[in-house]
């Protein structure tokens, strides 16, 4: 008993359906740069602070493909925090930092520790492409993490605070992140000026 081969018309119909499904699947995906701006907004508002590996890879690859993107994501300057923060006082225990190749003078990340004593000690790790710096916070004060020399591409750095009681609440963290020496090209954003004028904006419900 011979099996008849599918007719050309049937094959064409199957191919048409397959192409239609593929087209709609492609249309439903989010373009890379659109996803980058979504992430930027979510990080800034604190809706997201622990980046997934795919999102981290997306940001890194997008900055590599579009040289001007890294500085466009920063409020000002060549190095800065893109996570939720208020004049450097971070809102979350994991912080994303962008460093561009033009951040030549910045040598250290400084941490001004004002964490409530009941949440001390805790561990801090600063991670970049192929390197990591770590320290233990045992008391209030100012601590520094040395940065390696810049590379020829924008870098995505991750600062993580790990300890009991630390959560996505600035009152439990009370850490201000800055850079040494300061990035002289960075200015104060309009958003920061508004927060300085209205101290109530620093408060957040637990």
What does the block give as tokens for 171? 């009152």
Residue 22 forms part of a structural domain: no
Residue 11 forms part of a structural domain: no
Q: What is the pLDDT of residues 139-168, one digit of tens each?
A: 999 999 999 999 999 999 999 999 988 999
Residues near 14 by beta carbon (within 8 Å), at least 6 away in sequence: 6
pLDDT of residue 31: 79
Torsion region of 139: left, alpha or beta (phi above 0 gives left; psi -120 to 50 gives alpha):
beta
Tally of domains in the chain:
1
Residue 17 neighbours by CB distance under 10 Å:
10
Residue 92 forms part of a structural domain: yes
Residue 7 forms part of a structural domain: no
Range of the domain at 163: 31-182+190-202
Residue 24 forms part of a structural domain: no
What is the pTM assigned to this prediction? Answer: 0.75
Intra-chain end-to-end CA distance of the chain, in Å: 75
Residue 76 forms part of a structural domain: yes
Residue 10 forms part of a structural domain: no
Contact 136, 162 (CB under 8 A): no
Residue 106 forms part of a structural domain: yes
pLDDT of residue 13: 66
Q: What is the pLDDT of residues 45-103, one digit of tens each?
A: 999 999 999 999 999 999 999 989 999 999 889 999 999 999 999 999 999 999 999 99
How much of the chain exceeds pLDDT 90, in percent? 69
């Amino acid at each position: 008993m011979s099996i008849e081969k599918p007719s050309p018309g049937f094959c064409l119909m199957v191919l048409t359906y397959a192409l239609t499904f593929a087209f709609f699947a492609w249309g439903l995906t989010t373009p890379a740069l659109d996803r980058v701006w979504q992430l930027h907004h979510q990080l800034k508002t604190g809706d997201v602070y622990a980046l997934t590996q795919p999102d981290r890879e997306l940001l890194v690859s997008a900055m590599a493909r579009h040289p001007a993107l890294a500085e466009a994501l920063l409020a000002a300057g060549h190095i800065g925090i893109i996570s939720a923060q208020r004049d450097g006082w971070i809102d979350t225990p994991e912080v994303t930092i962008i460093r561009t190749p033009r951040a030549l003078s910045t040598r250290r990340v400084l941490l001004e520790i004002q964490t409530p004593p009941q949440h001390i000690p805790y561990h801090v790790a600063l991670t970049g492409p192929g390197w990591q710096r770590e320290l233990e916070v045992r008391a209030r004060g100012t601590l520094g993490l040395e940065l390696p020399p810049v590379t020829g591409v924008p870098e995505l750095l991750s600062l993580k605070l790990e300890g009991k009681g630390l959560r996505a609440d600035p009152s439990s963290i009370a850490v201000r992140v800055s850079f040494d020496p300061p990035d002289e090209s960075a200015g104060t954003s309009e958003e920061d000026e508004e927060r300085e004028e209205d101290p109530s904006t620093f408060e957040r419900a637990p």
